[in-house]
Each structure stands twice: as structure tokens, then as C-alpha cells.
Chains A and B, each alone.
Chain A
Amino acid sequence: MQKYISRQNFTKLLDQLIATGTRVVAPRMNAGTPLYEPLASSAEMVMDQLPRRSAKEAYFPVCEDIMTYEKEGQKVSITDIDPARFPETVLVGVRPCDACAIPVLDAVFSWDYKDEFFLERRRKTTIVGLACTTSDDACFCTAVGLSPADTKGSDLFLTPLEGGGYVCETFSDKGEALINDHTSLFNEPNNATPLPLAQPYTEKFDLKKVKVWLDEHFEDSSWDEIALRCVGCGACAFVCPACHCFDIVDEGTEKAGKRRKNWDACGFWKFTHHASGHNPRDQQPKRYRNRIMHKFKYYDDKFGQTLCTGCGRCIRVCPVGIDIAQIVEEISKK
């Protein structure tokens, strides 16, 4: 289904959703930083700036309770989390680099055992993607085979038009439902010109060649060079739309508390550290190698795709200037 929505009606749509109790998450300014966060009103939304962190927090929270426990005498009772507490969410203004990562994460959390924390939140989330009309030096979605107008992962996709308003294209029942529930706000598409798309990166990486090199170079002196600067801060994993490693920890006392699933990062030295003191990835280059390997080889081996959407966020936040696009480009030319 294809429709048109004016800029004004679009804000009405969000305000109506908010008024009826739907959680609307969209880019908004938080202390000067654009982040995907729940909106109190459509006026808070900023559509023209790329959020600093990815959109994954909306359906994969940084910290998530997975149960609570309580001890009485020698008995412990545990209480499950009621999925009814997960809010119906419309995630708006999602950049293609964020939306394209969603099916990638679906694969992880639904293969074999089903992680209902992730999957139930996903079921309750409608993704409204937004084509990018601007980019910066760190953007490289085109280099990994995606585009500023990639609709993968979106239920409804917005293409901004000259003079305001959007073309809305649906890609799922959820996307259609969003239009059908608010038909008065949508019109038939007109012949307004779409705004020109962003043109992030001219070169396209040969990801097959990258993978072939990675297949054969687990041991290679260039890993030391690549990761020499890495300080293991984990920022790259925390802003990444596709990183999904997590920890399971108890927070509380022996008497009562909760068990939580918290984001983690393979860049941390403790990530693989055994209680015995042994650590299979005992040096930072080994940890950074795992990051590259997971994104461009291991995930591909298992699910046939790359675990990187070229959003460039890790490049923007890295305190020591590590540039994953440059690394992958160099590997592709080896």
C-alpha cells in the first residue's frame, strides 16, 4: 500500500498515538544529543539528525529484568516477568541502517530457543522507517550493500518529499494497520518529488572477498596493528544496531532481587574471562578480532548475512578513532 501524509498530519498521527497510550519512540534531543527515546509529544521529534545510539534499545533494552526471586527460610520462589508489561510501541524515524539490523537480530533471538523478551517486544513494535537525505563522513551503508532508502526491517517506510510530507509505503500487516487505523490522516500519493537521497559512500566493499580473507586469517599479524589503539571501552558495541551480546546477572541480595539480562561487549576483557583466571581472548587484539570476525564471518557462516549495516556509529564514538569501514576496506583489498 502506498499513501501520502503531510508533515502536519504526520505530527497529528504521532500525537494521536501518544494520546491513546501507545509508546512512540523517535529521535529527540536529550541534553544536546539526538537519541531514539519515548516522546511526550510530536514536537520533541527531530527528524533531521541521526541518533547517536541505534534504535535497538526500543525492543532490546540495555537492562531487562528476566525474573525476580525471593528467599524465605530454605525455600526460594521465583516470579516470571509478565510480557503484558511490554508496551505497544511505534518506533518512528528509524534510519535504514537501524531498521535493516532488526531482521538480523530476529535471527539470533529466534533460532532454536526463542527469546520471548526480544520476540514479544518485537511483535509489539511497529517500525516506521525513514529514508536518509543527509549523511556524514562515517556513514557507509552503501558500502555493505544497503542503501539510504533500504526498506528491510520496516513495517512502514517514509520517503521525504520536496516541500514537506512523506510517501508512506507499507511492508507488513503492522504497517497497513497503522494507516488503516488513521485513514483520515493519509491521502493518495501525489506527484511531489522525493528529496534526493543521501550518498554516503561511493565505494562498495567486496564482502565475499573480506570473508574469504577472514576465513583464512584468524592468525595474522595485522590484527595487532588493527587493534593496537583499542582501549576496550565497548562503546562501539553499545551504539551498534546489530551487536547483541549480553550478560545475565543477579542484582540484589541472597534474600531478594532480580535476574537481569544486560548488554555486554566482546571488547571487554572480562567478557570471556574464566573464574580460574584463564582467558581465551586475553589481549585486546584478540577481542577486536572477534568483533570483526563476528560481523563479517561468524554471523555470515550461520545466517548468511553481515552483522554490520554501515551506520558508522562506532566510528563516530570511538575515543581512539578506530574506523571499521577503513579496516574492512583494507581487508577487501588484501
Chain B
Amino acid sequence: MSDHTNKNIYLPYMATVSEVIDETPDVRTLKLVFQDEQVRENFSFRAGQFAEYSAFGAGESTFCIASSPTRKGFIECCFRSVGRVTEALRRLEVGDTMGVRGPYGNSFPIEEFFGKNLLFVTGGIALPPLRTLIWNCLDWRDKFGDITIVYGARTESDLVYKRELQEWQERADVRLVKTVDPGGNGPEWDGKVGFVPTVLEEAAPSADSTIALVCGPPIMIKFTLPVLEKLGFTDDQVYTTLENRMKCGLGKCGRCNVGNVYVCKDGPVFTARQVKAMPLEF
């Protein structure tokens, strides 16, 4: 829904917080409903796109749109409270107003994945950027082959979307492999114990006709890519979504670049081949 008319491109849409969900002690989901009826009806985005969310008085922060484009009438964002803006966003209550600019950036080429198996590999707070695509694919379930989700966090309490993990675990058409780092498991833990790359290697999903979608902290990505390679994935079969600090989201403010690649315009979704061609600046 790019707006290229001669309007103020920095003006946010106004949205009402309709639900607040605590995912972990410091990670929160906000469900947002656009206040303007026309925007509510017309706002459309693709899985993988991001937005600038504002807490007035504190400023804007960049996160992915964490809900699925197939679910209409609202969007969700999910963030950890670590800075001025996210702490202000955390102070918002149901009924409060916040600003949303977007959707920005490219998206997962979901149509190219039709007919293929999907392997999602993610860790910690990096599930939200893939969760939008996971639900998009689950809502279009018959268009895809096997769906495998490998998700890990440091501890059980650091897992986000716990209720959805439960749902995916119970579905016959999804294979969920959940794990926590050694020492992060409580007595009731029914998943694996181990780091994501190790658990991925053990789970050994087939690379045949499969697209891998990876998102996680740099350290997880670093050790996951070689495992995928070992499993037979080529760099064109692997997608990831990058994040860098942004302000405008529009290719102007000059800070999200990795070499000559602007994460806000050329990304945030890239193939492993594209990422490997970039200098180490993310």
C-alpha cells in the first residue's frame, strides 16, 4: 500500500491498542486496530514487511508486522522492552493510541514457495518475523508440502507465542521441534534441550523441494547456515530477514545500509546467497 503521492510520508496512521499480551517477562505483543475506517479496510501488507511504530513523545521503533496478512482488521507487533521507545510502548494500555507507518520493505516471495516443503528455523525474539509467514502458510495450508518449525530459546520462559507453539504441536499438519538451551529447561519441559543448530541437525529435515526460512540472532544464523548446507540446502533455498537500526524506512535517512544494500528498501528479506555477498555490517 505504498503511498507515493505528494503527502507527508512521515505521518503515521493512528491505531488503538486492542489487546496486550505478555509473551515473556520482557516481550510483549500489542494488537492494533487502525482508527480510520478506510485505513482499517485498505491496509494490506505481505509477510515479511515491517513498519515504524510510534509511542508519541518517545519516538518510533522498527519491527516487523508479526501478524499474518491473511488475518484482516488488525495488525500485531511484538517487541522486547530494551530502549526508550519500547519502554514507552510497554506503558500503553488497551484503548491507548499509537502510530504506525508502513508497510515498508520487500516480503517473502510466498507464491514461489507453493508446492514446496517449508522449514522454519528461528530462535528467541526472532520468531515474530517468521510467525507472520507461518500463519500465512497455515491459512493457505493446501498450497504447501510438509511444514517443519524448529524454534528455540535460552529458557522455557523466553519462548514467545507459547499458546501458538501448543497449537502447532497439536496440529497433525505441522512438525514442531522446540528446544531450549542446556539449563533452560524446567521439570515439565517436553521439548528438546540443545542449541538450535544442533537440534536442527538432529531433526535432519530433507532439503529436497524445501525452502528454509531462518531468522535469529547473528550467532544462531552463523551456526545454522553451515548445518543447512550440510543438509543439502543451496543458498537460493534459504531465506532470512535482516534488521538494522532504521529511522525513515524509506531509503533516505542513510543508516540501515549493509554495504550498498539498504535493508529498508532492498530487504528486509534476503536469500542466503544475497547475505553471503554482503560485507559483515549487520
B88 within 8 A of A: yes
Q: Are B57 and A112 in contact, CB atoms less than 8 angstroms apart?
A: no
The segment from A10-18, A157-165, A228-236, A296-304 found at the interface with B is: A296-304
B253 within 8 A of A: yes
Give the distance to chain B from A113, nearest Cβ to Cβ, in Å. Answer: 4
Give the distance to chain A from B249, nearest Cβ to Cβ, in Å. Answer: 9
Chain B neighbourhood of A108, CB < 8 A: 252
Q: How many A-B residue pairs have CB under 8 A?
A: 140
CB-CB contacts of A78-105 with B at 8 A, as 1s and 0s?
Answer: 1011000000000000000000000000
Complex Cα gap A66–B11 (Å): 8
Chain A neighbourhood of B251, CB < 8 A: 111-113
Q: Are A273 and B56 in contact, CB atoms less than 8 angstroms apart?
A: no
Q: Are A281 and B281 in contact, CB atoms less than 8 angstroms apart?
A: yes
Complex Cα gap A71–B96 (Å): 10
A67 within 8 A of B: yes
Residue of A nearest to B9 (CB): A113
Complex Cα gap A288–B189 (Å): 48
Residue of B nearest to A109 (CB): B252
CB-CB contacts of A231-260 with B at 8 A, as 1s and 0s?
Answer: 000000000000011111110111101010
Complex Cα gap A256–B199 (Å): 50
Residue of B nearest to A77 (CB): B14
Residue of A nearest to B254 (CB): A245
Q: Are A252 and B57 in contact, CB atoms less than 8 angstroms apart?
A: yes
Within 8 A of A (CB), among B3-28: 4, 6-12, 14, 16
Complex Cα gap A89–B250 (Å): 27
Complex Cα gap A7–B16 (Å): 61
Q: Are A275 and B254 in contact, CB atoms less than 8 angstroms apart?
A: no
Is chain B's binding surface mostly helix, strand, loop or mixed?
loop
Give the distance to chain A from B32, nearest Cβ to Cβ, in Å. Answer: 13
Complex Cα gap A264–B260 (Å): 19
A271 within 8 A of B: yes
Which bucket holds chain B's interface residue count? 35 or more
Give the distance to chain B from A236, nearest Cβ to Cβ, in Å. Answer: 14
Give the distance to chain A from B267, nearest Cβ to Cβ, in Å. Answer: 14
Chain A neighbourhood of B224, CB < 8 A: none
A74 within 8 A of B: yes
Contact residue among A115, A249, A271, A302 (Cβ-Cβ distance under 8 Å from B59):
A249
Within 8 A of A (CB), among B24-49: none
Within 8 A of A (CB), among B158-194: none
Q: Are A245 and B260 in contact, CB atoms less than 8 angstroms apart?
A: no
Complex Cα gap A81–B9 (Å): 11
Give the distance to chain B from A175, nearest Cβ to Cβ, in Å. Answer: 24
Tell me whether A67 and B10 are in contact in the complex, defined as CB-CB below 8 angstroms, given that A75-B97, A245-B254, A252-B57 are known contacts.
yes
Chain B neighbourhood of A266, CB < 8 A: 254-255
B1 within 8 A of A: no
B209 within 8 A of A: no
Q: Are A67 and B250 in contact, CB atoms less than 8 angstroms apart?
A: no
Q: Are B4 and A247 in contact, CB atoms less than 8 angstroms apart?
A: no
Complex Cα gap A71–B8 (Å): 21
Chain B neighbourhood of A313, CB < 8 A: none
Q: Are B99 and A275 in contact, CB atoms less than 8 angstroms apart?
A: no
Q: Are A81 and B56 in contact, CB atoms less than 8 angstroms apart?
A: no
Q: List 16 A-B contacts (CB under 8 A).
A: A77-B14, A80-B8, A116-B6, A117-B8, A246-B253, A248-B59, A248-B248, A248-B253, A264-B247, A264-B255, A271-B245, A275-B61, A275-B86, A286-B281, A297-B260, A302-B260
Q: Which residues of B contact A (CB under 8 A)?
A: 2, 4, 6-12, 14, 16, 54-61, 80, 82-83, 85-86, 88, 93, 95-99, 218, 243-245, 247-248, 250-255, 257-260, 265, 279-282
Those 7 A-B pairs whose CB atoms lie nearest each other, nearest first: A275-B83, A245-B254, A254-B57, A76-B97, A218-B279, A298-B260, A113-B250
